[in-house]
Amino acid sequence: MDNVTKLLIEKRNAELFLRPRFSIDLDETSDVLIQRFSDVFKNKKTNCRGVHVDQHIFMSVPKKDEHFWSPQLHLEFIQKENNTTEMKGLFGPKPQVWTFFMFIHFVIGGLFLISATMLYSKISLNEPFTFPLIMVIVLPIIWILLYFLGSIGKDTGKPQIKYLHDVMIQIITNQL
């Protein structure tokens, strides 16, 4: 590659999201970019682990640095006209962690609906309604705590998010 530095314009979503997203428009075909990523992972030019599936690349931190909150970077390559590519990226937890959190959210949501129905029924029948009332109050608090727990996990994984992002940029600019 010549001494001309490529200008990368990265579009990001708001910082509020637990799973940060971005997109970059590149002046290369998706096949060239995917092959570059595959070569880097195959030849172990980086400590990152990577998997290539169709038009997707999944990048993870080295196994020795991995912890419960370690992120994964999912890259999707969308071929555009004029040999350009839109690369969409999504940082998120490992699929097992994400599935576990979604399961917990589903259970809490289901219990909340059941408790709200029980509360309404008990009030309508003029029966004691202490337990369903406590559940209707406590379950949303647990839900909010789960959100903050996810935020803490995201903050714990931020150095690794930066590391994965830096490696991705090095691969795109062919500096690795």
145 with 104: CB under 8 angstroms? no
25 with 9: CB under 8 angstroms? yes
Q: Three-state secondary structure along 74-142?
A: EEEEEECCCCCEEEEEEEEECHHHHHHHHHHHHHHHHHHHHHHHHHHHHHHCCCCCHHHHHHHHHHHHH
pLDDT(13) > 80: no
Q: Token pair for residue 139?
A: 């379950």
pLDDT at residue number 143: 92
| Of residues 98 and 134, more confidently modeled | 134
Q: What is the mean pLDDT of residues 126-140?
A: 96
Q: Token pair for residue 38?
A: 């595959």
What is the phi/psi pair of residue 64, to 5°? -70, -25
Q: What is the mean pLDDT of the chain?
A: 86
This prediction's pTM: 0.73
Share of the chain above pLDDT 90, in %: 41
pLDDT at residue number 167: 92
> How far is it, in rounded angstroms, from Cα 19 to Cα 157?
11
176 with 170: CB under 8 angstroms? yes
Q: Model confidence at 14, in pLDDT bands (50, 70, 90)?
A: low
Tell me the range of 5-9, 24-28, 31-35, 139-143 where mean pLDDT is highest: 139-143
Collect all residues with Cβ–Cβ distance below 8 Å to 19 and sequence separation of at least 6: 90, 91, 92
pLDDT(176) > 80: no
Torsion angle (degrees, nearest 10) of CA 36, 38, 40, 41? 160
HSE (side-chain half, CA atoms, 13 Å) at 65: 16
pLDDT(158) > 90: no
Least confident of 17-26, 48-57, 129-138, 147-156: 17-26
Collect all residues with Cβ–Cβ distance below 8 Å to 52 and sequence separation of at least 6: 34, 37, 38, 41
pLDDT(10) > 70: no
